A and B are shown apart, each in its own frame.
Chain A
Amino acid sequence: MRRWILLYLMILSAPVHAVLNIEITGAGEHQTPVSLVRFAGDAAIAQSLLALVGSDLARTGLFKLIDPAGKSPHEPRDIRPAEWLGVEAVLIGSIQSQSEGKISVEFRLFDLVRNAELMSQVVTAKEDQVRAIGHRIADLVYERLTGSPGVFSTRIAYVSRDEGVYRLVVADSDGDNEQALLTSREPIMSPAWSPDGRQIAYVSFEKRRAMVYVQSLTTRQRKLIADFPGSNSAPAWSPDGMQIAMVLTRDDASQIYLANSNGSHLRRITHSDAIDTEPSFSPDGKSLLFTSDRGGSPQIYRVSIDSRDVERLTFESGNAFSPRFHPDGNSFVFAHFNEGIFHIAVHDMESRQTQILTAGGWEKKPSFAPNGKMILFATEVQGRGILATVSSDGRVKQKMVAQRGDIREPMWGPFLK
């Protein structure tokens, strides 16, 4: 099976350049022993790819990376299974330079247990897209070995606050390759990815109150879609990308409205005298999760878009905020505030059980990776906001500490189509 993949990269402004220090704790229940062999060809590129694929796989906690110990096969026929005891799969490959600064990377994943090739592919891209190639290879290795698509090529968005300057940042899912989409002296909140990953809706206070904008990542053009009196906030895209749910205070307290993605055809979805906010579309587009204090304290509710029927979903002690659906629609993640601290928790809608995934702290704004296997959230280290992830089973945790700035409001982006 051979496929050619052309990498699509988004054009953004100058990179922000920040060094991240990533700290991983815990391991998956089962760790697959994998060996990555440095690819043949350009040594510098081969080394970059090896490091990237290795760190991507290691961060999941699902793989045990075994040193090839000097063995360097580049073709399946060079692999002698007897030399790879204890290793389940080995990644080999080679890099060829092409015209116009392009390279093509051919790679194969070999199953040492069944003595069979699991995958053979070629990726072609420009030389300066080595990171993208590495993430793509890691995605495919992850998919072949776990059965779920990898998310290393996906992107995340967040807000950084540094000495009174707010930036809306888009970065690779490992937190690297940061690029600022918007820089402002006034707060920015609540970035929300369009389902195709090409636009971001967000809240900006640049006109001295909260208004909702939609900005293209490719052209950088943006459009103000809600500037009603009071606050305009909490944008969330419908799964088909045609509509945006948002929260307005123009008629009353914070209430949820639905509009076309250009802001037209506005209609009200919730009717309460409470704060109804943080809508999140179900994967089928038929209902919204939201946070409301209509029962006295903030908890998670669900509203059907057709019938407008509302159902309360969490009955936790303490408060529940920021619900986001799992991609399968059967559970959701939220921030649970109890006895003075925030935890990241998952609520299963079938069993009605809540599972706390993290040790607790200033943990806010969780969102699932598009494969549902990891959760990105904001936490704090020494008074500074940072990015963190936890696996959906709570076993593997990761903190991404940037050298400066205060990071808030992260949101994991979709698969790029």
Chain B
Amino acid sequence: MKKLILSVLLLNLLAACGSNPPKEEAMAPATSAAVSEAPAAAAAADATAVDAQAAVDAQAAADAQAAADAKAALMEKNSVYFPFDVDAVQDADRETIMNHAEYLASHPDAKVRVEGNADERGSSEYNLGLGQRRAKNTKRALVLGGASDSQIETVSYGEEKPRCSEHNEACWSQNRRADINYSAQ
């Protein structure tokens, strides 16, 4: 996922370079011979400008689309999961953390709420504490990955908002998680 996002960004950069009109054209010397040809040249220049503008617009749209796609891809994986009674972020979720950390680093205005959760095998108050620690450790990992402290709020729902409510490991494993939720801007 990380590679995919990087290559999308690279393509955008290359495309942006290619669409810049060559500077020589814009700085063509105004000779007398050229004057008579000026209207044609001007028309050609206009056409170039129009083409350039269209290219810029298309690029902006493509960029916006790419950004939306990138964010959608990011949001598809916004949970990190924990073993029973453990609050340390797991290696399996490193990529998810790095993707969000990079997004936050490159979008300083973006803000997230990291919401910690726990399965039901504890008291509700203990689980509130456990969810808070999971949220805090997820925040720490995001900050280490480049996000800024002020972009991230941590809260806990403990065992109060289970994603799944049966008494089995398949359910519990879904409930032991921290969600990285982006705030509306």
Contact = CB atoms under 8 A, between A and B. Distances in A.
A275 B129 contact: yes
A322 B123 contact: yes
B128 A231 contact: yes
B121 interface: yes
Nearest to B131: A231
Interface string A309-322: 00000000001011
B132 A249 contact: yes
Interface stretch (A69-77, A101-109, A205-213, A215-223): A205-213
Contacts of A234: 125, 128
B21 interface: no
B122 interface: yes
A254 B154 CA distance: 13
Given A249-B132, A253-B133, A275 B156 contact: no
Interface string A332-352: 000101001000000000000
A383 B161 CA distance: 16
A231 B156 contact: yes
Contact of B132 (A203, A208, A253): A253
Contacts of B89: none
B179 to A, nearest CB: 13
A233 interface: yes
Interface string B150-166: 00011111101100010
A385 B165 CA distance: 12
Nearest to B154: A230
B69 interface: no
Interface in B95-125: 120-125
A362 B167 contact: yes
A101 to B, nearest CB: 43
B155 A277 contact: no
A277 B129 contact: yes
B85 interface: yes
Given A275-B129, A297-B85, A187 B157 contact: yes
B27 to A, nearest CB: 57
Chain B interface extent, by class: 20 to 34
A189 interface: yes
Contacts of B124: 189-190, 364-365, 408-409
A298 interface: yes
B130 interface: yes
A207 to B, nearest CB: 10
A278 interface: yes
Contacts of A408: 124
A291 interface: yes
A230 B155 contact: yes
B129 A254 contact: yes
A247 interface: yes
A293 B126 CA distance: 9
A321 B122 contact: yes
Given A247-B129, A253-B129, A275-B133, 17 more contacts: A187-B160, A187-B161, A189-B124, A189-B128, A189-B158, A209-B155, A209-B156, A230-B132, A230-B154, A233-B128, A275-B130, A321-B122, A321-B123, A340-B121, A365-B123, A408-B124, A409-B124
30 contacts: A189-B124, A189-B125, A189-B158, A190-B125, A203-B128, A205-B160, A209-B156, A210-B155, A229-B153, A230-B156, A231-B129, A249-B129, A249-B136, A249-B156, A253-B133, A254-B129, A254-B132, A254-B133, A275-B126, A275-B129, A277-B128, A277-B129, A291-B126, A293-B85, A298-B122, A321-B123, A321-B126, A322-B123, A337-B121, A364-B124
